[in-house]
Amino acid sequence: MTSFEFAFPTRLIFGSGTVNRICEVTRELDCSRPLLVADPGIRDAGLVDTVLNLLTNAGLNVEIFDQFGVNPDSTMVDRGVAFATSLNRDSIIGLGGGSSLDCAKGINLILMNGGQISDYRGYGHAKKALLPMVAIPTTAGTGSEAQSYAVISDSTTHLKMACGDPQLAFSTAILDPELTLSQPAQVTASAGFDAIAHAVETAVTTRRTTLSMLFSKEAFRLLNANYERVLTAPNNLEARGAMHLGAFYAGVAIEQSMLGAAHACANPLTAQYQLTHGVALAILLPHVVRWNTKKNKSLYAELMDSKIPPEQAGTRLAERLVELSKAGGFPTNLKTVGIPMKDLADLAESAGAQWTGTFNPRPFSESEALEIYQCVY
pLDDT tens per residue across span 294-334: 999 999 999 998 889 999 999 999 999 999 999 999 999 99
CA dist 36 to 49, 52, 66, 329, Å?
11, 8, 8, 33
CA dist 55 to 13, 49, 61, 89, 166, Å?
17, 10, 8, 14, 27
Phi, psi of 341 (to 5 degrees): -55, -35
> What is the number of other CB atoms lying within 10 angstroms of the CB of residue 130?
18
Kindly report the average pLDDT of the chain as a whole number: 95
- Distance between CA 351 and CA 39 in Å, rounded? 27
- Distance between CA 367 and CA 372 in Å, rounded? 9
- Beta-strand ranges (E) seen in 259-310 are none
CA dist 68 to 76, 270, 275, Å?
5, 16, 17
* pTM value surpassing 0.85: yes
Q: Indicate whether 91 pLDDT > 70.
A: yes
User: pLDDT per residue over 133-160, tens digit each?
Assistant: 999 999 999 999 999 999 998 988 888 8
User: pLDDT per residue over 5-53, tens digit each?
Assistant: 788 899 999 999 999 999 999 999 999 999 999 999 999 999 999 999 9
What is the dihedral sign for C-alpha 355, 359, 365, 367?
Answer: negative
Q: Find the mean pLDDT for residues 285-300.
A: 96
Q: Find the mean pLDDT for residues 108-131.
A: 96
CB 276 within 8 A of CB 71: no
Quote the pLDDT of residue 70.
85
CB 80 within 8 A of CB 103: yes
Quote the pLDDT of residue 113.
97
pLDDT band with cut points at 50, 70 and 90 for residue 235: very high
**Burial (Cβ within 10 Å: 0-12, 13-18, ≥19) of residue 316:** middle
Q: Find the mean pLDDT for residues 80-89.
A: 96
The SS3 assignment for 26 reads: helix
The region of weakest confidence among 152-156, 217-221, 361-365 is 152-156
Check residues 101 and 273 and name the one with the higher pLDDT.
Answer: 101
Quote the pLDDT of residue 1.
65
